[in-house]
C-alpha cells in the first residue's frame, strides 16, 4: 500500500508533463541499477532492500534493549552522533513527539543529542543538566572515528562512569558502529557494551532504518515496527516491476531533474508543521551529500511555513528565479482546535469562527503554492495522510529511493561524500594532529 500522493500540476507550467515523463526509461533503468547493484557506488546499496530484510528477531532485540534501558526510569537518553548517525533519529523522534513533551513530563525519556556539533557551551550545559538526571546513552558512529561524536563521548563516558560507577555505566551505554572496524568497536568490545552493527553496505545518510535510527526511536517510545512496515510498503511501491507511471518516487526524481535542467538549481523542502523541521534537515543531508559533487547537483534547502513566509517568503516570491519547492503536506493533524467567536472581534477574525486552525493552515498552503507559482517557483506536493510511524516510514523510503534514482540521473555516485574530508583535513592540520605534519606546515604558511 502506498499512502503518499504526488501532485506535480503546479510544476507542469514550468516543465511539461511530457518532459517529466520523458525520464521514464532513465528512471526505470536507474531503479534496476539500484536493485541489481550495477551502478556507481554499488557497494553501498544495502538500504535498497533493508526494510524487507529486517527480521522479527532484530526488531525484538531493539525493543528489548529499549525496554531494558527504559526500566531504569530514565529522564534523558543521550544520542551521540553526527550527520547520518544523528539526523534520522532526530527527524523521526521530533516528528512523532508532542511539541512540548520536555515540559509536560512523560513515561518516555527525553531524547537529547550530543556530538552533532563542537559547541563548548552546548557540551558544558548538557553535562550540567545530566548531573541531576537519570540517563543512559547511545554512541553512534559508523566509522567509529568521527571527531565530533568521539569528543562528546569521551566527556560523557567519563561523566556517566563517575555518576553510576563503571559497571552500571556499561549497562547504560549502547554502541552502534561497524561490525569489526574503528575505535568505537574496539572500545565497545573491551567494555562489553551492548552493541549493534551498522551494515557495511549502508551509508550514514541511508541508515535511519538500521539500529542507528531504530534504537533511539524505540527508546523514545515509538513503534519501530510500524515505521519499518511503512518503509516496506514503500519499498514494494517503488520496486523495479512498478512502472514509472505508478512509481511516485521515480516521478519525483524525474520532476526534480527536469526542473534542474531548466535552471531551477535550488529545491526547497517545505513543511507547514514545525514537527517536520528536522525531517527537512535529514532530507538535506540525504540529497546534499548524495548529489552535490563534480560541480553538479540541486542545492537542498528547507523552510518551515508559515513561520518562514515572514522571513524567507520575500526571497522565494521575488528573488532570483532558481528555486522550486517540494511541499510535504500533512492531510490530517492529530488534534482538533477550533477558532472561537469573540464578541468584540477587534482582531476581525470572527469570519473564521468555528473553523479549524488546520483549515487556515491549508488555505495558507494553497495560497502560498499559487503565489509562488505566479512568482516563478514551481511547486511539487507530496501529500501524507498524517504524521505517524507508518507514514514517516513511507516518506523515508520514498525520499531515499528517489534520491538514488535522481543521483544516477545526474551521473554522479550518490553513495560517497569525498567533499566532506576537506574540512577535516584542514582541521586536523590546524590542530597539529600526529600524522598531519606536512599539512600543518602548509596550512600555517597560508595564515
Ligand atoms: O557515523 P560516522 O562514521 O561517525 O559519520 C557521520 C557522518 O559523517 C559523514 O561521514 C560525513 O559528514 C556522513 O556521511 C556521516 O553521516
Read off the CATH number of the domain in which 134 is found: 3.40.50.10490
Task: Using the mean position of ligand 1's atoms as its centre, give its distance from the Cα of residue 88 in Å.
Answer: 12
Same domain, 242 and 222: no
Q: Indicate whether this model's pTM tops 0.95.
A: yes
- Contact 84 CB / ligand 1 (< 6 Å): yes
- Contact 185 CB / ligand 1 (< 6 Å): no
Q: Where are the beta strands (DSSP E) in 161-298?
A: 173-177, 194-197, 266-271
Q: Report the residue among 417, 418, 423, 427 best suited for mutation to probe ligand 1: largest number of ligand atoms under 8 A from its CB.
A: 417
Number of the ligand 1 atom closest to the C-alpha atom of 203: 14
Same domain, 270 and 129: no
Q: How far apart are CA 200 and CA 110, in angstroms?
A: 30
Neighbours of 442 (CB within 10 A): 12
Domain boundary among 227, 246, 272: 227
Nearest Cα to 47, choosing from 324, 232, 181, 322?
Answer: 232
Residue 433 lies in a domain: no
Cell of 330: 500533512
Same domain, 370 and 253: yes
Same domain, 22 and 158: no
Q: How far apart are CA 40 and CA 411, in angstroms?
A: 9
Q: Report the residue among 80, 83, 413 best suited for mutation to probe ligand 1: largest number of ligand atoms under 8 A from its CB.
A: 83
Q: Measured between alpha carbons, how far apart are the two ends of the chain, in Å? A: 58
Q: Report the residue among 47, 80, 84, 114 best suited for mutation to probe ligand 1: largest number of ligand atoms under 8 A from its CB.
A: 84
Residue 42 lies in a domain: no
Residue 41 lies in a domain: no
pLDDT at 191: 97
Question: Could you state, in chain order, the average pLDDT of each consecutive group of 10 residues for the chain (447 residues)?
Answer: 92 97 98 98 98 98 98 97 98 97 90 98 98 98 94 98 98 97 95 97 98 98 98 98 98 98 98 98 98 98 98 98 98 97 98 98 98 98 98 98 98 97 95 96 95
Cell of 118: 563542537
Contacts of 191 (CB under 8 A, 6+ apart): 170, 173
DSSP β-ladder status, 5-7 and 379-384: antiparallel
Residue 418 lies in a domain: no
Helices and strands of the chain, counted as H and E runs: 19, 10
- Contact 393 CB / ligand 1 (< 6 Å): no
Protein residue with its CA nearest to atom 7 in ligand 1: 83
- Contact 149 CB / ligand 1 (< 6 Å): yes
Cell of 253: 526524481
SS3 28: helix
CA angle 42, 43, 44 (to 5 degrees): 90
Residues belonging to the active site: 289, 424
Distance (Å) of CA 194 to CA 168, 177, 270, 287: 12, 11, 38, 32
Domain extent for 296: 5-36+237-411
Residue 440 lies in a domain: no
pLDDT at 190: 97
Same domain, 198 and 115: yes
Domain boundary among 227, 256, 281: 227
Task: Using the mean position of ligand 1's atoms as its centre, give its distance from the Cα of residue 123 in Å.
Answer: 20
SS3 111: strand
Residue 428 lies in a domain: no
Same domain, 161 and 284: no
Counted domains in the chain: 2
DSSP β-ladder status, 266-271 and 173-177: unpaired
Look-up of cell digits 561497524: 178
- Contact 210 CB / ligand 1 (< 6 Å): no
- Contact 204 CB / ligand 1 (< 6 Å): yes
Number of the ligand 1 atom closest to the C-alpha atom of 83: 16
The shares of helix, strand and coil residues in the chain, as percent rounded to the nearest 5, are: 55, 15, 35
Sign, CA dihedral 307-399-329-387, equals: negative
Same domain, 95 and 62: yes
pLDDT at 422: 95
Same domain, 325 and 181: no
Q: How far apart are CA 18 and CA 362, in angstroms?
A: 29
Look-up of cell digits 514517516: 392
Dihedrals phi, psi of 258, to nearest 5 degrees: -60, -45
Task: Using the mean position of ligand 1's atoms as its centre, give its distance from the Cα of residue 203 in Å.
Answer: 8
Same domain, 81 and 221: yes
Q: How far apart are CA 45 and CA 34, in angstroms?
A: 7
Residue 127 lies in a domain: yes
Same domain, 28 and 55: no
pLDDT at 105: 81
Cell of 373: 507559482
Task: Using the mean position of ligand 1's atoms as its centre, give its distance from the Cα of residue 143 in Å.
Answer: 7
Same domain, 303 and 388: yes
Cell of 176: 552502534
- Contact 50 CB / ligand 1 (< 6 Å): no
- Contact 10 CB / ligand 1 (< 6 Å): no
Q: How far apart are CA 261 and CA 263, in angstroms?
A: 5
Residue 135 lies in a domain: yes
Report helix angle 147-164 to 120-131, nearest 10: 20
Q: How far apart are CA 75 and CA 136, in angstroms?
A: 9
- Please give, one letter per residue, the 3-state secondary structure of 310-373: HCCHHHHHHCCCCEEEEEEEECCCCCCCECCCCCCCCCCCHHHCCCEHHHHHHHHHHHHHHHHH
Amino acid at each position: 500500500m502506498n499512502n503518499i500522493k504526488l501532485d506535480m500540476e503546479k510544476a507542469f507550467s514550468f516543465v511539461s508533463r511530457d518532459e517529466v515523463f520523458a525520464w521514464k526509461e532513465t528512471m526505470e533503468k536507474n531503479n534496476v541499477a539500484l536493485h541489481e547493484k550495477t551502478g556507481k557506488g554499488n557497494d553501498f546499496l544495502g538500504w535498497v532492500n533493508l526494510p524487507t530484510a529486517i527480521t522479527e528477531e532484530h526488531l525484538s532485540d531493539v525493543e528489548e534493549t529499549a525496554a531494558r534501558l527504559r526500566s531504569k526510569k530514565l529522564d534523558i537518553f543521550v544520542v551521540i552522533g553526527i550527520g547520518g548517525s544523528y539526523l534520522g533519529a532526530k527527524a523521526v523522534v521530533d516528528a512523532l513527539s508532542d511539541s512540548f513533551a520536555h515540559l509536560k513530563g512523560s513515561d518516555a525519556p527525553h531524547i537529547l543529542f550530543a556530538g552533532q556539533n563542537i559547541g563548548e557551551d552546548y557540551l558544558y550545559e548538557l553535562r550540567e543538566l545530566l548531573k541531576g538526571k537519570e540517563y543512559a546513552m547511545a554512541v553512534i558512529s559508523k566509522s567509529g572515528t568521527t571527531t565530533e561524536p568521539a569528543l562528546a563521548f569521551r566527556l560523557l563516558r567519563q561523566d556517566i562512569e563517575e555518576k553510576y560507577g563503571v559497571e552500571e555505566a556499561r549497562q547504560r551505554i549502547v554502541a552502534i558502529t561497524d561490525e569489526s572496524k574503528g575505535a568505537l568497536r574496539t572500545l565497545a568490545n573491551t567494555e562489553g557494551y551492548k552493541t549493534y552493527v551498522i551494515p557495511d553496505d549502508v551509508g550514514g545518510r541511508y541508515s535511519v532504518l538500521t539500529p542507528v535510527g531504530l534504537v533511539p526511536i524505540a527508546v523514545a517510545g515509538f513503534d519501530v515496527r510500524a515505521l519499518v512496515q511503512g518503509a516496506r510498503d514503500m519499498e514494494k511501491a517503488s520496486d523495479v516491476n512498478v512502472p514509472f507511471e505508478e512509481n511516485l518516487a521515480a516521478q519525483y526524481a524525474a520532476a526534480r531533474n527536469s526542473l534542474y535542467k531548466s535552471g531551477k538549481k535550488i529545491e526547497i523542502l517545505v513543511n507547514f508543521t514545525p514537527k517536520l523541521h528536522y525531517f527537512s534537515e535529514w532530507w538535506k543531508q540525504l540529497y546534499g551529500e548524495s548529489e552535490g559533487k563534480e560541480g553538479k547537483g540541486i542545492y537542498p534547502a528547507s523552510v518551515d511555513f508559515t513561520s518562514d513566509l515572514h522571513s524567507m517568503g520575500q526571497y522565494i516570491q521575488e528573488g532570483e528565479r532558481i528555486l522550486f519547492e517540494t511541499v510535504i503536506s500533512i492531510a490530517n493533524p492529530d488534534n482538533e482546535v477550533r477558532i472561537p467567536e469573540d464578541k468584540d472581534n477587534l482582531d476581525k477574525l470572527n469570519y473564521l469562527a468555528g473553523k479549524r486552525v488546520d483549515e487556515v493552515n491549508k488555505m495558507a498552503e494553497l495560497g502560498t503554492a499559487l503565489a509562488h507559482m505566479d512568482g516563478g517557483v514551481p511547486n511539487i506536493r507530496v501529500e501524507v495522510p498524517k504524521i505517524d510511524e507508518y507514514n514517516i516510514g513511507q516518506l523515508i523510503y520514498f525520499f531515499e529511493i528517489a534520491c538514488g534514482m535522481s543521483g544516477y540521473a545526474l551521473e554522479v555516485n550518490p553513495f560517497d561524500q569525498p567533499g566532506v574530508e576537506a574540512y577535516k583535513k584542514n582541521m586536523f592540520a590546524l590542530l597539529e594532529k600526529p600524522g598531519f605534519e606536512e599539512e600543518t606546515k602548509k596550512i600555517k604558511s597560508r595564515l
